[in-house]
Amino acid sequence: MRDEINLRAYGKINLGLDVTGKRPDGYHEVRMVMQNVSLYDGVRIGTRRAPGIGVRTNLPFLPTGPDNLVYRAAKLLMDEFDIGEGISVSLYKKIPVAAGMAGGSSDAAAVLVGMNRMFRLGLSKRQLMERGVKLGADIPYCIMRGTALAEGIGERLTPLPSMPECSLLLAKPPISVSTKFVYGSLKADSLPFHPDIGGLLKGLEDKDLTAISSCLGNVLETVTIPAYPQIQEIKNQMKEAGALAALMSGSGPTVFGIFTEREKALSAGRKLRAGGLARQVYTVRPFHVDGRNWR
Ligand code: ATP
C-alpha cells in the first residue's frame, strides 16, 4: 500500500449543453459536449493515525465534512471495502467554486481513482464510474476525462476527438448561481432553441475550430442571462476582443471564450478584470488525456 498519492483534478467546460427532457424522478435528460481544461485542483490523499476522514482545503469557506464531495467519495470506498485506516484528503483549489466547471465532481473523481490505487482495490475505470454516479452525474465524466459526449443524466459517455489547440479565456463574475435554481427554472419542454450538438461533433471530428465555435450553445443561458445580465456582457466583451465565440459553461456563471491567439485572450482577461466584470480570470488550454494513467 502506498502512503500518499498526489493527483490533479481538472476542470471542464461545456462546448454544448442541451436539455432534451425531464424524467419523472426530476432529473433532466441532457446532451452535453464536455471538454477538460488545463486548470486543476491539487488533490493529496494519505493515511493518518486517527480513524475516519479528515479533509483540509486552502479555501476556508468550503465544507470539510460530509458536505464536501471528496469526503463522500472516500466514505463510499471505505464502507464498501472495509478500509480501517484513517484517510486524509488535502485539496488545493484553483478551479472556481460553484462556477459550472465541475470542480467538486473532479475532486471526488480524483479521490475514487486515488484510493483505488492506494489500497489496490482492483476496480476498473468503469467500476469506478458506476460508484461515482451515485455521488453526482458529472463524476463518471470526471473519471474518464478528456473530450466526451455525455447523455442520459450525464453518465452515458462517448469519447470524442480532442478539441483543437487554442487559448480559452475563463471569467467568473463575482456572483453565486445555484445549479438547483438554474435547472429548477428551466422550461425544458418549451426551449427557444437547441444547440447544434451534431455540428459540434462534426467540428471535433474535422478538427475545425471555426466550425466548433459557430456551434457552441448552452440552453441554461435562457435562465441565467436574464437573471444575471453581466454574463451576456462578459460574452460580448470577449467577442469584441477577438474571441471566435463565447459561452457560459454548465449552469454558470463562468464564461469561456475561444481565442486563436493567447495574447488576445490575455488582454481581454485584463480588461474584464479592470472593468470589474470578473475577478476570477484565467487563460488556459484544452486538456487532452494522452492515454497515460491518471496523475
Ligand atoms: P458543476 O459544474 O458540477 O455544477 P460547480 O462548479 O457548479 O459544479 P462546485 O464547485 O463543484 O460547483 O461546488 C458547488 C458547491 O458544492 C459549493 O457550494 C461547495 O460548497 C460544495 N462542494 C462540496 N465539495 C466541494 C469541493 N471539493 N470543491 C468545491 N465545492 C465543493
Q: What pLDDT, in 10s, does the model give residues 58-76?
A: 999 999 999 999 999 999 9
The lowest-confidence range among 6-15, 52-61, 182-191 is: 182-191
In the prediction, which pLDDT does 188 show?
Answer: 85
The rounded Å distance from CA 160 to ligand 1 centre is 25
Ligand 1, atom 9: closest residue by C-alpha: 98
The answer to whether residue 12 is catalytic is yes
Span 219-244, mean pLDDT? Answer: 97
Above 70 in pLDDT, residue 211? yes
SS (H, E, C) 24-50: CCCCEEEEEEEEEEEEEEEEEEEEECC
Q: Is the CB of 101 under 6 A from ligand 1?
A: yes
pLDDT at 200 over 80: yes
Cα dihedral angle (38, 42, 46, 51), rounded to 10 degrees?
-120
- For residue 251, pLDDT over 70 is answered with yes
Q: How far is the CA of 99 from the centre of ligand 1 (A)?
A: 8
The Å distance, Cα 59 to ligand 1 centre, comes to 12
Q: Which residue has the higher pLDDT, 200 or 290?
A: 200
Average of pLDDT values for 202-225? 98
Average pLDDT, the chain: 95
- Which DSSP category does 284 fall into? E
Q: What is the mean pLDDT of residues 210-235?
A: 97
Apex 85 CA angle, 84 and 88, nearest 5? 135
Mean pLDDT value across residues 159-186: 95
Burial class (CB in 10 A: 0-12, 13-18, 19+), 81: middle
- pLDDT of residue 25 exceeding 90, the answer is no
Whether 275 shows a pLDDT value over 80: the answer reads yes
Poorest-pLDDT segment among 116-120, 186-190, 231-235: 186-190
Instruction: Check if 217 has its Cβ closer than 6 Å to any atom of ligand 1.
Output: no
269 φ, ψ to 5°?
Answer: -65, -45
| Residue owning the nearest CA to atom 27 of ligand 1 | 104
